[in-house]
Structure 1
Amino acid sequence: MKEGEKNIKAEDISYIEKMCADTWKSLYRFIYFKVQNREEAEDITQETYCKAILYMKKSNVRIDKSMGFLKTVSLNILRDRWRKSKRQGKTVNFDDINPEMTAIEDYTENIAQREIIQNALKILNKDQRTVIELRILKGCSVADTARLMNKKESTIRVMQYRSLQALNKIIKEKH
């Protein structure tokens, strides 16, 4: 045993095991939400528990609100990592950069188009909207769509054609 390290009692071990079992899922999700990387979230979660347990052993305290304490520890670890990566910077060789590969795609046009279509779908009647949702958006077959809507397959084909025409007309009129 190292100098300054206290003996861990059996009740301390069971307390630590219970704390970890009760909090690891929500702590991992919290960290993953921040870093958006599975491996990094796993590393930070593990480091969080190591630092928290070390603190509890040194201070000989039990944490009442363990989730809040663990989130604070994990945020401190994240801040330290972000500061460290900011200081180090990144080396870039401009000759190796392909502008087409590194260009950031502009999603605003996609979002605008999606909103236009959603607004146009709201104008269609219920059957027209349902046919388009089942056939086009969800990819259901004509037979499945007919069964779900309790109509004939030929009726579904005609409804789909007319619904798409109506949708096209609404979009052209509005935009």
Structure 2
Amino acid sequence: MISGWNSTPPLEAAEICRANGGYPALIRRMREDSCGPTKIEEIKNCDVPTTPTEIRSFMGLAGYYRRFILNFSKIALPLPKLTQKSEPFVRTQKQKEAFQTLKQRLCNVPILTLPEGNDDFVVYCDASTQGLGCVLMQKEKVIAYASRQLKIHKKNYMTHDL
């Protein structure tokens, strides 16, 4: 029996586990979605990035699981600035805090609910001068989070025009 299931897992999940030799990176249960324990361990053991390449690598990993993290873009905002070739690689306290916050949120990801049939969906939206964010919900349960930073030219728009 795999922990997290009250009984034996569905056949497809058992096949995935056997094929990978362990747990899958993304676990899909009957009505839930979450980050797998192997990825959580990988994230916990991740050292502070010291080069632009390491930051890109971490952002790629974190970006894959962004739908689990509320305000992902807002938290990650300081990190991509370190990867720009025109900017010198100088880590500030803001960037260290952003990395630690993302790492902590990735290790404590919520379990998201999978959509059920054609029941009503609700989208809660938020906009600021830095970015956009939304939460997709069904029956008062979170299905997914989404967010992104604004492009430079869109930062001049009023928030209700975004």
TM-score, normalised by the number of residues in structure 2: 0.24
Larger strand share, 1 or 2: 2
Q: Does 1 or 2 have the higher relative contact order (CA < 8 Å, sep 6+)?
A: 2
TM-score, normalised by the number of residues in structure 1: 0.22
